[in-house]
Structure 1
Amino acid sequence: MSEPVLLLEAAGPESQALARTAAASGHRVHAVTDAATLAGYSGELRRLLAGCLVTDFTRAGQAVADITGYGRRIGARALLTVNEYLTEVAARSCAALSLPGNDPERAAAARNKALMATTFETGRVTMPSTTVVTDLRELQDLHETGKVGFPCVVKPADGAGSAGVTVVAGPEELELAWHAARTARVMYGMPLDDRVLVQEHVQGREFSVESITQHDVTTHLCITRKHTTNGSHRVELGHTLPARLPAAAERALLDQAGRAIAAVGVRNSATHTELLLTPDDRCTVLEIGARLGAGHIGVLLQHALGIDPWRTLWDIALGRPATITPAPGGGYATVRFLTTHQEGQLVAVTGLPTVTRTIPAARVRAAAGSDVGPATSNRGRLGHVIVTGHDPRTVDEQADQILRQITVTVAPGGRT
Structure 2
Amino acid sequence: MRMYLIALNPTDSVTEGFLPAAHALGLDVTLLTDRAEPHRRAVEAAGRDAVGDIEILECDVRDHHALITRVATHHRPDAVFTNSDHLQAPAALAAAYFGLPGKDWRAALRTKDKAETRRHLAAAGLDAVRSVELAAGQDPEGLLDRPVPYPCVVKPREGVASEDVVIVAAPDELLARCREIQARRPGAALVAEEYLPGELHTLETLGDGRRLHVVGGFRTRLSPPPYFVETRMTYVPRHPDPVTAQVLAQLDCLGVGFGASHTEFVVHDGRARIIEVNYRAVGDQGDLLLRDLLGFPLFEHVLRTHLGEPLPDHLRLRRDAAARVDYVCAPTAGTLAAAPAPADLTADGVRLAYRPLRATGTRHPLHHTNRDYVGVLRTTGPDQPSVDRAADAFLATRRWEFTP
Match of residue 286, structure 1, among 246, 253, 275: 275
Aligned to 1:212: 206
Q: CA deviation at 1:375?
A: 4.8
TM-score calculated relative to the size of structure 1: 0.86
Contact 1:154 1:181 in 2 (8 A): no
Sequence identity (%) = 23
Question: How many Å apart are 1:328 and its aligned residue?
Answer: 4.7
Cα distance, 1:376 vs structure 2: 0.6
Give the SS at the match of 2:290.
helix
Unaligned stretches of 5+ residues in structure 2: none
Match of 2:113 in 1: 112
Q: Distance in 2 between matches of 1:156 and 1:337?
A: 23
Instruction: Give yes or no for contact 1:214–1:268 (8 Å, CA) kept in 2.
Output: yes
Q: Is the 8 A contact 1:242 1:304 kept in 2?
A: no
2:7/2:32 contact within 8 Å kept: yes
State how 1:82-93 maps to structure 2 within 5 Å: 82-93=83-94
Query: Is residue 238–residue 335 contact of structure 1 (8 Å, CA) maintained in 2?
Result: yes
Distance 1:352 1:9, change over 3 A: closer
User: Aligned residue for 2:68?
Assistant: 64
1:6-405 paired onto structure 2 within 5 Å: 6-9=4-7, 11-16=10-15, 17-35=17-35, 37-38=38-39, 40-44=41-45, 47=48, 48-67=52-71, 69-70=72-73, 73-126=74-127, 128-134=129-135, 139-143=140-144, 147-182=147-182, 194-242=188-236, 245=239, 247=240, 250-252=241-243, 254-278=244-268, 280-323=269-312, 324-350=314-340, 354-356=344-346, 358-372=350-364, 374-405=366-397
Amino acid at match of 1:152: C
SS of residue matched to 2:320: coil
Q: 1:81 to 1:395 in 2, by over 3 A?
A: same
Give the drift of 1:335.
Answer: 0.6
Moved more, 366-375 or 333-342: 366-375
Between 394-403 and 206-215, the greater mean CA deviation after superposition: 394-403
* SS of 1:355 mapped into structure 2: strand
Look up the equivalent residue of 1:302 and give its one-letter code: R
How far the C-alpha of 1:46 sits from its partner, in A, is: 8.0
Q: CA–CA distance in 2 between the matches of 1:46 and 1:122?
A: 49
Once residues 329 and 244 of structure 1 are traced to their aligned partners in structure 2, the CA distance between those partners, rounded to angstroms, is 9
Offset, 1:119: 2.1
SS of the residue corresponding to residue 110 of structure 1 reads helix
| d(CA) in 2 for partners of 1:396, 1:358 | 10
- In structure 2, relative to structure 1, the CA distance for the partners of 1:7 and 1:135 (3 Å cut) is closer
Distance in 1 (alpha carbons) for counterparts of 2:336 and 2:245: 44
Structure 1 residue 366, shift from structure 2 partner? 0.6
8 A Cα contact 1:235 1:376, kept in partner: yes
CA apart distance, 1:20: 1.0
Contact 1:269 1:291 in 2 (8 A): yes
Supply the AA of the counterpart residue of 1:165.
V
Aligned residues between the structures: 395
Query: Secondary structure, in 3 states, of the residue corresponding to 2:163?
Result: coil
> 1:143 Cα deviation (Å)?
4.2
Deviation (angstroms), 1:4? 1.5
1:188 corresponds in structure 2 to: none
Q: Secondary structure at the match of 1:263?
A: helix
Equivalent-residue separation in structure 2 for 1:101 and 1:184 (angstroms): 33
Q: How far did 1:202 drift?
A: 1.5
Amino acid at match of 2:334: G
- Matching residue's letter, 1:210: E
Matched-pair contact (CA < 8 Å) for 2:88–2:105: no
Q: Which amino acid aligns with 2:297?
A: D
CA distance in 2, matches of 1:372, 1:236: 19
Task: Give the letter for the 1:387 counterpart.
Answer: T
Distance in 2, Cα, partners of 1:258 & 1:244: 13
Cα distance in 2 for partners of 1:401, 1:172 equals 44
Q: Does the CA contact (< 8 Å) of 2:32 and 2:57 recur in 1?
A: yes
Q: CA offset at residue 51 of structure 1?
A: 2.1
Equivalent pair of 2:30/2:54 in contact (CA under 8 Å):
yes
1:53 aligned partner, one-letter code = L
Which structure 1 segments of 5+ residues have no match? 186-191
**CA drift at 1:144:** 6.0
The CA RMSD over aligned residues, in Å, is 2.6
Contact 2:131 2:148 in 1 (8 A): no
In the alignment, residue 202 of structure 1 is paired with which amino acid? Answer: L
Secondary structure, counterpart of 1:307 in structure 2: coil
TM-score, normalised to structure 2, is 0.89
Tell me, yes or no, if the aligned pair for 1:127 and 1:284 is still in contact at 8 Å. no
Deviation at 1:27, TM superposition (A): 1.4
Whole-angstrom distance in 2 between the partners of 1:117 and 1:282: 16
**Distance in 1, Cα, partners of 2:77 & 2:136:** 44
Give the conservation status (yes or no) of the 8 Å contact 2:137–2:187: no
Using a 3 Å threshold, how does the CA distance of structure 1 residues 74 and 116 change in structure 2: closer, same or farther?
A: same
Q: Report the CA distance between 1:223 and its aligned residue.
A: 2.2
CA distance in structure 2 between the aligned counterparts of 1:305 and 1:139, rounded to whole angstroms: 47
Paired AA for residue 265 in structure 1 = G
Secondary structure of 2:5's match? strand
